[in-house]
């Protein structure tokens, strides 16, 4: 049943042309006939039986028509569409096709039917109803008009002010402007509304005695998000501009339940950070209501709500949420911790022991699973790297005691890696300078990088150990060890690392390609090559 169907549809038998006069005559009795049931069909507002307020039975208690105890004029909204009427005026059900009803949001708490009627003047609604709303929430009214022309004229009051609050009118009938009026305000619209709000405050200020501002002015000004100094208290009435800002954040139809659950989780965390525990509970509860498919998120939401309940002293609620968190994710460690703390506060000491021992067991099992998962992942990655090396016809030293992926035993502090994006390899590389007993380690040498490109960076400036200045980019020679012939061979610096590694006799030792750098035809190079050939 929609909002329109939920409204009382009864209409008095008196003619429309007399209603304005009846309403004017009865305004004097407004709000003064509410101590008990009226003899005129339950009309407790001072109107006669042929006027508007014909309700389903007597009020439950003084000033509380809806039974929620908040002191507002909340009238029952059910059993109004049965097609018959219990009123003495002989009212009948209005067909939906000619019903012109709209929802009214933003009516001040202190306003009543008289103020709502005056808001629409000169248009006169044929019926007003107030919906039952929770304590502390802004009242929601419904107004019914006799024709489309009257309803259209009434819509011209959309976002006009009643006191210091602007009113939103949402038509519940088929109207061409409905989607436009129910749409989330744009930033430009919010700016315009802010300007209108300030102009309205200035206008109201001009009607006050010089130098005086009433409490309502400052109260409403402090509630505006532009001047808000702290988060609203739990259950406090929100300013319409604040409601609009919240709509911008939450009313996104493109968000999945998981997206919304995450948003509510972050919102609750913010409230929790500022110790607004009740607001945090509301946010976490909304996240839980999304019923997202991620059990981890659900477990966190329940556990976070348990924590907020715990700090409010709601230990049983906290314990219940810890149980629900474990149902979502059996090894959620924080749920065990908070569950044990809640049992301690409830003096359930045996349960404390059970929660703690079970939590320790789950933690151990979880850590073992994580370790096994890491090992499986690491083994899978190593297998991919080895397969890539073999596919490139690169030879590795065959020594089962050597782990080429063990970074702790590699002087370069790295190991060969496979880039997932382009499936290329990077190697740690060492350059040896036997003449001066020096070494240079390159942690990541891409297989498609030329030797000359890397050496040009290394020899951009003279090395501190090269006192004679012999080791320059134009004078050095590059050698590698041919494991098949047991001799040193020169290699062109224009080759890429991959091309060098694919040369015959090149074997990668300790998981790291190595090169010898000397000055060709120097006395040391001749002596070193001769000595190496005799080994």
**What is the DSSP secondary structure assignment for residue 102, as one 8-state letter?**
E
**Higher confidence at residue 91 or residue 330?**
330
| Average pLDDT rounded to a whole number, residues 433-437 | 93
Return the ∠ at Cα 10 (arms to 4 and 12), rounded to 5°.
140
What is the signed CA dihedral for 110, 111, 113, 115, rounded to 10 degrees? 150
Give the span between the Cα atoms of 287 and 266, in whole angstroms. Answer: 10
Residue 380 has pLDDT above 70, yes or no: yes
In this prediction, residue 205 carries a pLDDT of 55
Q: What is the pTM of this model?
A: 0.43
Q: pLDDT tens across 21-60, in order?
A: 333 333 333 333 333 333 344 433 333 333 333 333 333 3
Do the beta carbons of residue 165 and residue 108 sit within 8 Å?
Answer: yes
64: confidence class by pLDDT, cuts 50, 70, 90? very low
Q: Would you say residue 85 has pLDDT above 50?
A: no
- Return left, alpha or beta for 39; rule: phi > 0 is left, psi -120 to 50 is alpha, else beta: alpha
Position 231 scores a pLDDT of: 63
Name the percent of the chain lying above pLDDT 90: 36
Which DSSP string corresponds to 469-487? Answer: ----TTT-EEEEEETTTTE
Q: What is the mean pLDDT of residues 496-521?
A: 92
In this predicted structure, the answer to whether residue 453 has a pLDDT above a threshold of 90 is yes
Q: Domain boundaries in the chain?
A: 3-183, 192-246, 252-366, 407-533
- Look over the chain and give the mean of its residue pLDDT values, rounded to a whole number: 76
CATH superfamily, with its number, for domain 252-366: Tetratricopeptide repeat domain (1.25.40.10)
**Mean pLDDT across 419-448:** 92
- pLDDT above 90 for 266: yes
Please state which of the ranges 72-81, 423-432, 437-446 shows the lowest mean pLDDT. 72-81
- Before 193, cis peptide (omega within 30)? no
CATH for 407-533 is: 3.10.20.90
Q: CB within 8 A of 160, min separation 6: which ones?
A: 119, 166, 167
- Our measurement of the distance from residue 113's CA atom to the centroid of its chain's CA atoms, rounded to an integer in Å, reads 40
Kindly tell me if the per-residue pLDDT of 345 is higher than 90.
Answer: yes
Cβ neighbour number for residue 172 with a 10 Å cutoff: 19
Residue 432 pLDDT: 94
| 252-366 and 3-183 share a CATH fold | no
Element at 377 (helix H, strand E) = helix 349-391
H or E, element range at 140: strand 140-145
CA dihedral sign of residues 212, 214, 220, 223: positive
For residue 39, what pLDDT is reported? 38
- Over the stretch 270-304, which tens digit does the pLDDT of each residue have? 999 999 999 999 999 999 999 999 999 999 999 99
Worst-scoring range by mean pLDDT, 83-97, 318-332, 398-412, 467-481? 83-97
pLDDT at 166: 75
In Å, how far are 7, 143, 152 from 123, measured between CA atoms? 20, 11, 10
Question: What value, to the nearest 5°, has the Cα angle with vertex 424 and ends 420 and 429?
Answer: 120
Between CA 200 and CA 161 the distance in angstroms is 8
Does the domain formed by 3-183 have CATH 3.30.70.330? Answer: yes
């Amino acid at each position: 049943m929609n909002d329109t169907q939920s409204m009382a549809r009864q209409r008095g038998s008196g003619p429309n042309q007399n209603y304005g006069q009846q309403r004017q005559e009865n305004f004097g009795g407004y709000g003064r006939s509410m101590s008990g049931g009226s003899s005129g069909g339950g009309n407790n507002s001072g109107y006669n039986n042929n006027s508007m307020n014909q309700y389903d039975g007597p009020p439950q208690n003084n000033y509380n028509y809806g039974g929620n105890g908040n002191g507002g004029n909340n009238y029952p909204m059910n059993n109004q569409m049965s097609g018959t009427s219990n009123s003495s005026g002989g009212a009948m059900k209005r067909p939906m096709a000619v019903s012109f009803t709209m929802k009214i949001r933003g009516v001040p708490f202190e306003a009543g039917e008289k103020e709502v009627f005056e808001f629409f003047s000169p248009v006169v609604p044929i019926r007003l109803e107030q919906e039952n709303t929770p304590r502390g929430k802004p009242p929601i009214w419904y107004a019914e008009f006799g024709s489309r022309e009257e309803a259209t004229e009434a819509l011209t009051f959309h976002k006009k002010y009643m006191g210091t609050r602007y009113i939103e009118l949402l038509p519940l009938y088929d109207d061409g402007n409905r989607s436009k009026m129910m749409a989330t305000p744009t930033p430009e619209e919010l700016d315009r509304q802010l300007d209108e709000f300030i102009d309205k405050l200035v206008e109201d200020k001009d009607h006050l005695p010089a130098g005086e501002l009433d409490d309502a002015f400052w109260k409403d000004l402090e509630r505006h998000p532009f001047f808000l100094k702290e988060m609203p208290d739990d259950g406090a009435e929100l300013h319409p501009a604040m409601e609009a800002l919240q709509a911008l954040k939450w009313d996104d139809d493109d968000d999945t339940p998981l997206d919304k659950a995450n948003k509510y989780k972050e919102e609750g965390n913010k409230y929790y950070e500022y110790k607004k525990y009740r607001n945090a509970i509301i946010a976490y509860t909304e996240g839980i209501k999304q019923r997202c498919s991620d059990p981890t998120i659900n477990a966190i939401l329940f556990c976070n709500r348990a924590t907020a309940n715990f700090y409010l002293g709601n230990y049983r609620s906290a314990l219940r949420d810890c149980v629900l968190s474990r149902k979502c994710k059996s090894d959620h460690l924080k749920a065990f911790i908070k569950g044990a703390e809640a049992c301690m506060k409830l003096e359930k000491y045996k349960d404390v022991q059970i929660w703690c021992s079970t939590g320790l067991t789950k933690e151990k099992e979880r850590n073992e699973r994580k370790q096994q998962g890491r090992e499986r992942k690491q083994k899978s990655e190593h297998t991919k790297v080895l397969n890539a090396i073999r596919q490139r016809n690169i030879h590795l030293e065959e020594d089962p005691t050597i782990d080429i992926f063990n970074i702790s035993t590699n002087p370069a502090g790295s190991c060969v890696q496979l880039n997932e994006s382009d499936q290329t390899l990077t190697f740690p590389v060492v350059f040896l300078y036997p003449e001066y007993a020096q070494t240079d380690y390159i942690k990541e040498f891409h297989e498609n990088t030329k030797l000359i490109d890397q050496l040009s960076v290394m020899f951009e400036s003279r090395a501190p150990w090269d006192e004679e200045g012999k080791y320059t980019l134009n004078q050095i020679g590059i050698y590698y060890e041919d494991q098949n012939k047991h001799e040193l061979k020169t290699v062109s610096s224009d080759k890429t690392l991959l091309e060098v590694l694919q040369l015959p006799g090149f074997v990668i030792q300790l998981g790291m390609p190595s090169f010898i750098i000397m000055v060709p035809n120097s006395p040391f190079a001749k002596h070193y090559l001769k000595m190496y050939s005799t080994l």
